[in-house]
């Protein structure tokens, strides 16, 4: 995502908690042409910048990097814009927005969907929470790596939308995994099955992009089961707080736990199929 900004001509400074990754990123971009700066300290990287964008791991990571006396938000200059692409709880997103308001900063919670391929190809879907003024500052930057940007509502609304997104993906992948196994069990040509049903009501992004790799047992596509379970925990927590039951999402989360325990924690979410026994095609 930062690479797209550098290619578009923005003056970019990068930071990664693993500095070697920042160095590798800088070297790779230099090979293409764009020159970027990197910093070993997050607050230093954010100082005096017009826009600061974060994409971290979970609530604890975001809290540690952003908040507090030596955090990123305190280092930012008044009037700057902070955009958080991390998937975190809506409650933390609202807390960050409150802290930004106190510091005179614009804030947008902007979780993304589209996975590693979406980021690399600049085709992410971004769901945003924040004020109209904050969105006006953030959107021209996000446009450089997004296929779709939707302003959902006020602070935390983007994160609430991402919870909905993950629940929907979980259900689709569960059905897709069972469909693949059924096709294999009946002995039909799975490529022909995909050709037939992907043109009808069963079609989905997951089917188009993951059916064939699930058949082949390939699960190295960037968005790990560890992260999906983190996201589902947020969704299930939000549902519980609202007195709502999400039985399918809860069941899929249990299936993911089985795949984690079998060594699939860092595999792509389509590895959900591994919770179903392999079958011998007829």
Supply the residues annotated as catalytic: 162
Helix, strand, or coil (residue 16): coil
As to burial, measured by CB atoms within 10 angstroms (0-12 exposed, 13-18 middle, 19+ buried), residue 102 is: exposed
Pairing mode of beta strands 37-38, 81-84: unpaired
d(CA 262, CA 213): 19
Helix, strand, or coil (residue 60): helix
> What distance lies between CA 132 and its chain's CA centroid?
23
d(CA 7, CA 196): 40
d(CA 230, CA 97): 22
190-197 and 157-186 helices cross at what angle (nearest 10)? Answer: 130
Confirm if 85 and 55 have CB atoms less than 8 A apart: yes
In 10 A of CB 164, how many CB atoms? 13
Confirm if 224 and 267 have CB atoms less than 8 A apart: yes
CA nearest neighbour of 204 among 248, 161, 235, 174: 174
> What distance lies between CA 189 and its chain's CA centroid?
33
DSSP 189: -
d(CA 159, CA 59): 12
């Amino acid at each position: 995502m930062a690479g797209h900004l550098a290619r578009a001509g923005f003056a970019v400074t990068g930071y990664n908690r693993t500095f070697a990754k920042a160095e590798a990123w800088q070297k790779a971009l230099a090979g293409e042409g764009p020159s970027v700066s990197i910093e070993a300290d997050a607050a230093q990287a954010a100082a005096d910048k017009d826009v600061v964008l974060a994409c971290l791991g979970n609530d604890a990571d975001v809290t540690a990097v952003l908040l507090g006396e030596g955090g990123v938000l305190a280092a930012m200059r008044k009037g700057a814009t902070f955009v958080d692409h991390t998937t975190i709880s809506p409650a933390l997103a609202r807390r960050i927005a409150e802290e930004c308001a106190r510091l005179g900063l614009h804030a947008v919670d902007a979780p993304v969907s589209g996975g590693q391929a979406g980021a690399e190809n600049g085709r992410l879907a971004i769901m945003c929470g924040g004020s109209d003024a904050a969105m006006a500052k953030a959107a021209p930057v996000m446009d450089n790596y997004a296929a779709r940007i939707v302003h959902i509502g006020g602070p935390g609304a983007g994160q609430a939308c991402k919870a909905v997104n993950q629940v929907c993906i979980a259900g689709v992948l569960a059905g897709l995994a069972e469909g693949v196994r059924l096709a294999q069990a009946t002995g039909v040509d799975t490529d022909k099955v995909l050709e037939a049903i992907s043109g009808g009501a069963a079609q989905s992004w997951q089917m188009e992009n993951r059916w064939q790799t699930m058949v082949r047992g390939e699960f190295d596509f960037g968005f790990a089961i560890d992260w999906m379970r983190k996201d589902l925990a947020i969704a299930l927590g939000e549902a519980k707080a609202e007195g709502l039951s999400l039985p399918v999402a809860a069941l899929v989360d249990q299936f993911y736990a089985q795949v984690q325990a079998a060594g699939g924690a860092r595999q792509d979410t389509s590895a959900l199929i591994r919770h179903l026994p392999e079958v011998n095609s007829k």
